[in-house]
Structure 1
Amino acid sequence: MTGGLYRSAHAARDGDPPQAEPVEQQAEPVEQPADHQEAPLGTPPGQEVADEGGSTASNSIVMAAGSLVSRLTGFLRTVLIGAALGGAVGGVGDAYTTAQMLPGQIYELLLGGVLSSVLVPMLVRRRKAEPDGGEAYTQKLLTVALLGLGLAAALAVLAAPLFTAVYASDRPAQYRDLVTVLSYLVLPMIFFTGMSALIGAVLNVRGHFAAPMWSPILNNLVVIAACGVYIGVFTGEVSPAGMTPERIAVIGGGTLLGIVVQACGLLPALRKVGFRWRFRWDPRSLGLGELARLGAWMLCYVAANQVAVFVVVKLLNSADSGAGLLIYNNVFLLVMMAHGIIGVSVMTALLPRMSAAAAEGRLPDLVADLSRGLRTVTAALAPIVVGYAVLAAPIAVVLFQHGAFGAEEARATTGVLVMGAFAVLPLSVSYLCTYTFYALQGNKTVALINLPVVGVRVAAQLSLFALLPPALTAVGLTLGNALSYAVSGAISLVVLRRRIGRIGLRTIATSLSKVFLAAAVAAGLGLLVVRLLPGGGLPSFWEALLQLAVGGVVIVGTYLGLALALRVREVTSVLTTVRRKLGR
Structure 2
Amino acid sequence: MSRVLRASAIMAAGTMVSRVTGFVKAAVLVAALGSAHMGDAYTVANAIPFILFDFLIGGILSSVVVPSIVRRQKSDPDGGRSYEQRLLTIGTVALILLTAAAVLLAGPLIGLYTDDGWSDRQTEVAVMLARYVLPQIAFVGVGALAGAILNTRDRFAAPMWAPVLNNVVMIGVLVLYLVTAGRSGADVEAVSEADLALLGLGTTAGIVAQCLVLMVSLHRAGFRFRPRFGLRGAGLGEMGRTAGWGIVYVLITQVGFWVTTMIASGAGGEAEGAGNTAYAQAFQLFQLPYGIIAVSVITAMLPRMSRSAAEGDLGTVRDEFASGVRLVAVLLVPAGLLLMVLGPAVTVLIYSWGNNTLDNAVYIGNVLQVFGLALVPFSLFQLLLRVFYAFGDTRTPVFIGAGNTAVSIGLSLLSAAVLPPRYVVMGLACALTAAYATGTVVAWMLASRRTRGLNGRVVASGLSRMYTAALPGTLAALGVLWLTRELAGLTPLSAAVMLAVGGGAGLALYLVVAHRMRIPEVSSIVGMVTGRGRR
Identify whether the pair has TM-score above 0.5, normalized to the shorter chain.
Answer: yes
Question: What aligned pairs does 1:267-282 form with structure 2 within 5 A after superposition?
Answer: 267-269=215-217, 272=220, 277=225, 280-282=228-230
Counterpart in 2 of 1:423? 374
Residues 177-326 of structure 1: matches in 2 within 5 Å? 177-202=124-149, 211-237=158-184, 238-269=186-217, 272=220, 277=225, 280-283=228-231, 286-319=234-267, 320-321=270-271, 322-326=273-277
Which sits farther off after the overlay, 219-228 or 435-444?
435-444
1:146 to 88, 92, 96: 92
Match among 389, 396, 400 for residue 347 of structure 2: 396
Counterpart amino acid of residue 312 in structure 1: T
Q: Tell me the distance in 2 between the aligned counterparts of 1:379 and 1:330.
A: 25
- Deviation of the 1:574 alpha carbon: 3.5
Determine if contact 2:133/2:203 at 8 Å carries over to the other structure.
yes
Distance 1:413 1:325 in 2: 10
> Judging changes above 3 Å, is the alpha-carbon distance between structure 1 residues 453 and 72 closer, same or farther for their aligned structure 2 residues?
same
Distance 1:279 1:441, change over 3 A: closer
Query: 2:439 is matched by which residue type in structure 1?
Result: S
The Cα offsets for residues 115-140 of structure 1, whole Å up to 9 and x where unpaired, read as 34334454555566666666655554
Separation (CA, whole Å) in 1 of partners of 2:225 and 2:307: 34
Deviation string 1:67-89 (CA, Å, 9 cap, x unpaired) is: 3332222232222111111112x
Task: State the match for 1:83 in structure 2.
Answer: 31
Asked whether the 8 Å contact 2:67–2:303 carries over to 1, the reply is no
Following the alignment from structure 1 to structure 2, what is the Cα–Cα distance between the partners of residues 261 and 254? 11
Bigger Rg, structure 1 or 2: 1
Cα distance in 1 for residues equivalent to 2:83 and 2:391? 28
Structure 1's 551 and 214: CA in aligned 2 closer, same or farther, altered over 3 A?
A: closer
Deviation at 1:556, TM superposition (A): 2.3
Alignment match, 2:383: 432
**CA shift at 1:491, angstroms?**
0.5
| Correspondence for 2:395 | 444
SS at match of 2:182: coil
| CA 324–371 in structure 1, closer or farther in 2 if over 3 Å, else same | same
Matched, 1:522 2:473: yes
TM-score, normalized by length of structure 1? 0.82
Aligned-residue identity in percent: 36
- The within-5 A match list for 1:325-336 is 325-336=276-287
Deviates more, 1:218-227 or 1:199-208: 199-208
**5 Å matches for 1:430-509?**
430-509=381-460
Deviations along 1:433-458, one digit per CA (max 9) or x if unpaired, are 22333344433222322221121111
Hey, which of these two has a bigger chunk of helix by percent? Answer: 2
Unaligned segments of structure 2, at least 5 residues:
none
Q: CA shift at 1:416, angstroms?
A: 0.2
Paired with 1:346 and 1:276, the residues of 2 have a C-alpha distance of 28
Q: Which segment is superposed worse, 215-224 or 328-337?
A: 215-224
Which AA in structure 1 matches 2:47? M
Go from structure 1 to structure 2 and tell me whether the alpha carbon gap of 1:380 and 1:470 turns closer, same or farther (over 3 Å shift). Answer: same
Provide the secondary structure at the position in 2 that maps to 1:240: coil
Asked if structure 2 preserves the Cα contact closer than 8 Å seen for 1:396 and 1:410, the reply is: yes
CA distance in 2, matches of 1:431, 1:114: 14
Q: Which moved more, 1:287-296 or 1:308-317?
A: 287-296
Residue 392 of structure 1: how far off its partner (Å): 1.6
Cα distance between partner residues in 2 of 1:376 and 1:210: 19
What are the within-5 Å matches in structure 2 for residues 50-89 of structure 1? 63-88=11-36
Matched residue type, 2:414: S
What is the CA–CA distance in structure 1 between the aligned matches of 2:12 and 2:460, rounded to whole Å?
A: 31
C-alpha displacement of 1:487: 0.9
What is the match of residue 28 of structure 1?
none
Which ranges in structure 1 are unaligned for 5 or more consecutive residues? 1-38, 44-56
Q: Is the 8 A contact 2:70 2:303 kept in 1?
A: no
Q: Secondary structure at the match of 1:236?
A: helix
Cα pair distance change 1:581/1:356, threshold 3 Å: farther
1:165 corresponds, among 111, 135, 146, to 111
- 3-state SS in 2 of match to 1:168: coil
- Deviations along 1:237-283, one digit per CA (max 9) or x if unpaired, are 42110110121011111011222233344454565566665655434
Compute the displacement of 1:178 (Å): 0.7
> Which of 499, 504, 527 is equivalent to 1:553?
504
Q: 1:64 and 1:118 mapped to 2: Cα distance?
A: 24
Partner of 2:57: 111
Residue 12 of structure 1 aligns with which residue? Answer: none
Aligned partner (choices 30, 42, 45) of residue 4 of structure 2? 42
Secondary structure of the residue aligned to 2:431 is helix
On the 8 A contact 2:274/2:425 being kept in 1, the answer is yes
Q: Do 1:41 and 1:346's aligned partners in 2 also have CA atoms closer than 8 Å?
A: no
TM-score (norm 2): 0.89
Question: Number of residues paired by the alignment?
Answer: 530
- 2 CA distance for matches of 1:353 and 1:276? 25
Q: Distance in 2 between matches of 1:479 and 1:129?
A: 46
Question: Aligned partner of 2:128: which letter?
Answer: V
Could you tell me how far 1:291 is from its partner in structure 2? 2.5
CA displacement at 1:190 relative to structure 2: 1.4
Q: Identify which of 379, 385, 388 aligns with 2:330.
A: 379
Listed one character per residue, the Cα deviations across residues 553-574 of structure 1 (whole Å, up to 9, x for unaligned) are 3322443444355554443454
CA root-mean-square deviation: 3.1
Contact 1:169 1:176 in 2 (8 A): no
In structure 2, distance between residues paired with 1:361 and 1:402: 55
Given that residues 397 and 541 in structure 1 are in contact (C-alpha distance below 8 angstroms), is that contact kept between their aligned partners in structure 2?
yes
Report if aligned partners of 2:309, 2:391 keep a CA contact under 8 Å in 1. yes
Instruction: Tell me how far 1:548 sits from its aligned partner.
Output: 1.4
Deviates more, 1:308-317 or 1:202-211: 202-211
Which piece of structure 1 moves more, 440-449 or 288-297? 440-449
Q: Deviations over 1:84-104 (max 9, x none)?
A: 11112xx11110010011111
